[in-house]
Amino acid sequence: MELPAPLLIFRKTSIHIYLFLLLSLVVFLITYSSYVLPSSSSVTSLANLIWPNPKFAKKSKEKLPFAIGETKEGCNVFNGKWIWDEKRPLYEESECPFIQPQLTCQEHGRPDKDYQHWRWQPHDCSLPSFNATLMLETLRGKRMLFVGDSVNRGQYVSMVCLVHRIIPENAKSMNTVGSFDVFNIKDYNATIEFYWAPFLLESNSDNPGKHRIEERVVRKDSINTHGKYWKGADIIVFNTYIWWRTGFKFNILQGSFDDKVKDIVEVSTEEAYRMAMKSLLRWIKKNMDPKKTRVFFSSMSPSHERSIDWGGEPNKNCYNETKMIEDPNYWGSDCRKSIMQVISQEFGKSKMPISFLNITQLSSYRKEAHTTIYKKQWSKLTQEQLANPYSYADCLHWCLPGLQDTWNELLFTKLFYP
């Protein structure tokens, strides 16, 4: 940048003044850069690990399938705050018969309802209201598919609850077949589906009913084992994270699960996750038409299993929490930034227009929104557990109605107003 004429004169007459000004400029730039490029612990830098992706930003200028408008330029809908809203929840727990008993917190005795009344408000714009009629008309003759783990199943159930009230009783049904949960909407010739694949790749945890296995193993390059069932979907929402949290090493099968002697290698969790992301992106490129279909990928869903993360007492968790975390820079130890980096690096290489649902930070504040002990238990609780609710509180899954309805409002926004 060319210096103004007065400064050039000063430089000629006094080298010391010039050096002083130059030093001042350097100090200013350092200070300024620390402002626009926050530290790794800040909200903005964490979001920027993935979003925006310059390649996707360029493609998003083209009209994407199902889009009817645009989000206000410069508005990041994932950057905002929670505000109290008396008009919420968007539906009542008792009104939606499709919520699984693992998520019906009121039915199982939760005494408070405050967690149902919070609405996400972006800083620079507002989210459009969820329009069930528009969603159903868009899905007419089409197939919407959620793929992933039980957290993604919760978002799937939330979506069903958001649309089912305007569908006549005799024109809707829910069926479970193998790894599929399928919500049929007869009059629209449409389905909203969930497919159980916690790693997306083939694994030893693929049985939707019996998957509690300590030594988890994922088979390399096996995306088609599940992917063959995803073909033909018009809208797909992927997620995978919580099942990878087994430590810093992960077991990868290089052969087949049918081999008598299995060739299993141990790699870093980041390397294993990167392998899954590369496989997913190859599958998307091969099987999804960007002119006709939409692909979404949700970031990691936070858990709140360590109360010391938010200044609580040791050996406690989300149980009995009724207020959210107010620190805007909060980032829990359960959400590994190294995994976020892997997603950023691999998705950044893709030329496919994949919409990223960055739900991690906004969900991290919501330590009070988990199911905790207010759910159907998988097995009978022991006397020791009953004496210590913290020992069996579920801090992974979320009550419905609740937080995951907001995820679907964000999905709705990105689908129709990218």
CA dihedral 362, 363, 367, 371 (to 10 degrees): 150
Query: What residues act catalytically?
Result: 150, 394, 397
Q: What is the Cα–Cα distance from 373 to 320, expressed in whole angstroms? A: 9
pLDDT digits (tens, 9 = 90+) for 368-388: 999 999 999 989 999 999 999
Q: Which residues contact 333 (CB under 8 A, 6 or more apart)?
A: 306, 309
Identify the pLDDT of residue 61.
57
Q: What is the Cα–Cα distance from 360 to 216, expressed in whole angstroms? A: 24
Q: What is the Cα–Cα distance from 313 to 290, expressed in whole angstroms? A: 49
pLDDT digits (tens, 9 = 90+) for 219-245: 999 999 999 999 999 999 999 999 999
Type of residue at 408: N
- Tell me the C-alpha to C-alpha distance, in Å, between residue 140 and each of 83, 186, 372: 34, 10, 37
Task: Give the global pTM.
Answer: 0.87
Q: What is the Cα–Cα distance from 340 to 336, expressed in whole angstroms? A: 7
Identify the pLDDT of residue 74.
85
Type of residue at 358: N
Query: Which residue stretches of the chain have pLDDT < 70?
Result: 1-62
User: Which has the closest alpha carbon to 75: 131, 135, 128, 132?
Assistant: 128
Q: Which residues contact 120 (CB under 8 A, 6 or more apart)?
A: 80, 81, 82, 127, 362, 406, 409, 410
